[in-house]
Structures are given as C-alpha cells and as structure tokens.
Amino acid sequence: MNRRQKIIGAPVPQEKSGRHLETPAGLTVEQLLTACVLDLKKIAPFFYAAVCVVPRIESNEVADIAVSPDKLYYNAEFIARLERPVLSFFLIHDLYHIVMRHHQRGKGKDPEKWNEACDLYINACIAKAYDLRPGADPKLQEGPGGQKAFLRMPASEYFDPYIDISKATPEQIYRELPDFKRKEEQGEGKRKLDKRKPDIIDDAANMNAVETSENQKSERILKKIQTTYDQMMRTVAGHDKAYEKVIAVTVDRELAPKVNWRALLQNRLVSMKLDEKSLSYPDRRFVHTGLYVEGEVVEEEELSDIKICVDTSGSMSDEEVALALHQIGRLLRQYHTKADLV
C-alpha cells in the first residue's frame, strides 16, 4: 500500500518566502490570501471561521495546497498562479478535509485512492451548495448578509455529477472507485481527473503519532472552529436568524459521520454468528467419509467477548447517547448476547 505524503512542516524562512510574489490580479500572494479569506466571510461563514482558526503555513514541501489534521499548508508559487475565485474554492475544499476528519477516517485505506474518494465527495458538496461545475465561469455567490463574492471550480477538479451526497459517503465512493474508473475507461464516466497532488498529508507533528493523539488534535481544532463560528454568528449585526438556523443544521450534518452504525453493528453480530465454528458440532456432510470438519455453532450458543464503544464526547447530546444505548440494547437482545460498553 502507498503511504500518505509526510512533510516536516517547517515554515519557509522569511528571506525565502514567496508571499510577496505578484499574482495575475496584481496582488501579492499574501494580499490574495487575505482577499479570499474576506470573500469567505461574505459567502461561507463557517469556512471563514475555519480559515481563521486553522494555521496557514507557507511550505515548499507541498506542490500546491494540502492539509494535515489541524493545519493548512500552501506553496506560494502555486498560489501566485491562481485567480481569486479559484483560490477561494481551494480553501473551502481543503478545509472540508479537516472538518470531515478525512485523516482519521482514512486509517487502513490506500491513501491515494482515499484522497480521490474524499475529493469526489467534497466537490459534489461544493457543487451542490454553490451551483458550480468544473471549468465553468466564476459564479457570483450571495452570503447571509447580502454580500457577494465569486467562486470557481477549476476544470482540473475530480468530479462526478452523479454522486448523491444525501446518500453517498467517502467510504462508499472509496469502495466503488474501481467501478467508476472502469466506466471512465469505457467512456461512460463524466469526471475530470484531479491534476493536483494529493492534499491529505501528515506533518511532523503527526508522524508516528498514535491515533488517539491525532483524534485529539482534530477534536480541538473542530471545537475551536465551532466556537469561533458561534461567536461570529452572535455578533453579526442584522444577521438573519432563520438563515443562521439553516447554517447550524448544515454544519451539524457535515460534521456528523454519515454511517449507519446500527446496520454495521447488526452485520457484525450476524457475521460473528456465522463465522463461529467448532468440532463440538461437526459438519454432517463429511461424517460418512470418516472426516470430521468443524461445523457452525448451534443457535443456542451465545456470542461472547463483545466490546462496543459509545462516543460520549461533547458532539453527542444526552438524548443521542440514550438513543444509541437503547438501540444497542435491542440488538443485543435480538441476538441473545451481552456486551461490554466502553
């Protein structure tokens, strides 16, 4: 399996910095980044809160823009070639990786394929939210306060117009990617290959780090983003409360893992039942030959040594925890077994 790109993560020294390079709009890289941050404030309040909280670090170790679990790295020479609406798009795209915890969710998966699956999902989210398509002209977006700014999805972005974000997940797309690629080779696909380098990376702070440490970094940065967003929404004069409620629901939905945990737990219990074999119950199909082969354990024998982890962090309300425990209890009773809750 390929490994995710790892970088030292050290910032570029001041004397070698490219932040003063001139962009096509006549702005320096530093000015262009600032302008795009202000554009996000106008049209994407949550991602404005995110870009204010997540450290932005100039680095020559990345080819364009990339993120670790809690930092955003950029190559100044790459930024210097971008139009303002495209850079705003890239900022939203890469912040999505952090917000949706794609580093942690990619554990045990092929990094390049996982990055492609996440990019497909993110771009489908952005396309739906802002009515964008790869290579189309910049589209004027209007934010909650009536302020406007342009966004543009570049033609090089990895995109599938048939992904339904209300049903699909990055994990599902990851599993189906080989089929997507076969369709593309047969001329059925309508996606464009992402010519950017993989943008989910590890920095020195996460090299050889245990998973819990990485999760803690992600939890801390997400809580900071949410707190900053909440404070910003409370202080915006004349802010539309109805719109705020819609945004809050959207944020909760995006942060929540789109995984049917109840179905996964049920499938796991079923597979444990089916996979448990013992010579105490030999397969009768082979007894007449004198060969004794392990058979499936009869229904009366209970499953054992089951551990179930329940998230009781701040992201779970008391009502959600109670509902999860109730559903777990029903499944355990259904399969006549017990489990330890962690």
pLDDT at 284 over 90: no
Task: Kindly indicate the confidence band of residue 33, based on its pLDDT and cuts at 50, 70 and 90.
Answer: very high
- Element holding 144 (H helix, E strand): none
Q: What is the pLDDT of residue 281?
A: 55
d(CA 118, CA 96): 9
Mean pLDDT for all residues in the chain: 76
- Name the pLDDT band for 336 (thresholds 50, 70, 90): confident
Candidate from 26-40, 75-89, 91-105, 262-276 with smallest mean pLDDT: 262-276
Looking at residue 214, its pLDDT comes to 67
The pLDDT assigned to 192 comes to: 42
The pLDDT of 299-319, averaged and rounded, is: 67
pLDDT in tens, 190-220: 444 445 667 777 765 544 444 446 677 888 8
The 10 Å CB-count burial string (b at 16+, else e) for 236-263 is eeebeeeebeebeeebeeeeeebeeeee
CB 3: neighbour CB atoms within 10 A? 9
3 state DSSP class of 272:
helix
Q: What is the pLDDT of residue 151?
A: 97
Residue 30 scores a pLDDT above 70: yes
Q: What is the pTM of this model?
A: 0.65
Of 262-271, 280-289, 311-320, the least confident: 280-289
* Rounded distance between C-alpha atoms, residue 166 and residue 176, angstroms: 17
Q: What is the DSSP string of 83-128?
A: -HHHHHHHHHHHHHHHHTTHHHHTTTS-HHHHHHHHHHHHHHHHHH
pLDDT surpassing 50 at residue 70: yes
DSSP state of 246: H
* Phi and psi torsions of 13, nearest 5°: -55, 150
Confidence band, pLDDT 50/70/90 cuts, at residue 136: very high
